[in-house]
């Protein structure tokens, strides 16, 4: 039986801990499929029509497009780390998708549509924003249940 694992990934040191956790816990097993998932905010398309102010905006969006390319490359680096733990490269998928509603809802939607057996999240300890909003890990853990493993790494 194949075990399907979802790792939401946001390029932080805590996300590296999630990679290490999956590598140590599942790295020697056969029949493990992993999906690395990152939801990004899409960059709007700008029509500058020879307007100097809009040219500056286009320059900024070019920077954002380069950042997205760097994130895609970083997602591939994370994939390679999993391969180094012994996973078959064909069993590791990278999903780099635009945010549809918000990140937590997108993770939950992906979990529901792909029927994952485990979700490995991290939490951001000490993040001041968590005092005012529910963290993504808490929101996902509340929705993802019923026979699925939810692992929250620190």
Q: Mind listing the pLDDT tens digit for each residue in 43-88?
A: 777 666 666 666 666 667 778 888 889 999 999 999 999 999 999 9
For residue 1, how many other CB atoms are within 10 A of its CB?
A: 4
pLDDT for 99-130, tens place per residue?
888 888 888 888 888 888 888 887 755 444 44
Domain count across the chain: 1
Report d(CA 90, CA 139) in Å as an integer.
30
Residue 140, token pair as written in the block = 């996902």
CATH code, domain with 110: 3.40.50.620
Taking CA atoms, 51 is separated from 48, 54, 57, in Å, by 6, 5, 10
pLDDT for 7-44, tens place per residue?
999 888 888 999 999 999 998 888 999 999 999 888 77
| Structural domain that includes position 31 | 3-153
């Amino acid at each position: 039986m194949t075990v399907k694992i979802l790792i939401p990934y946001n390029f932080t040191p805590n996300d590296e801990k999630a990679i290490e956790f999956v590598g140590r816990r599942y790295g020697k097993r056969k029949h493990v499929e992993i999906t690395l998932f990152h939801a990004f905010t899409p960059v709007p398309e700008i029509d500058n029509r020879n307007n100097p102010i809009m040219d500056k905006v286009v320059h900024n969006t070019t920077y954002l497009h380069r950042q997205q390319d760097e994130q895609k490359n970083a997602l591939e680096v994370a994939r390679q780390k999993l391969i180094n733990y012994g996973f078959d490269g064909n069993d590791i998928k990278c999903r780099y998708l635009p945010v549809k509603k918000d990140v937590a809802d997108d993770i939950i939607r992906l979990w529901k549509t792909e029927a994952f057996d485990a979700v490995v999240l991290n939490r951001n300890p000490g993040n001041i924003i968590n005092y005012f909003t529910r963290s993504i890990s808490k929101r996902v853990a509340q929705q993802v249940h019923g026979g699925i493993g939810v692992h929250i790494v620190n």
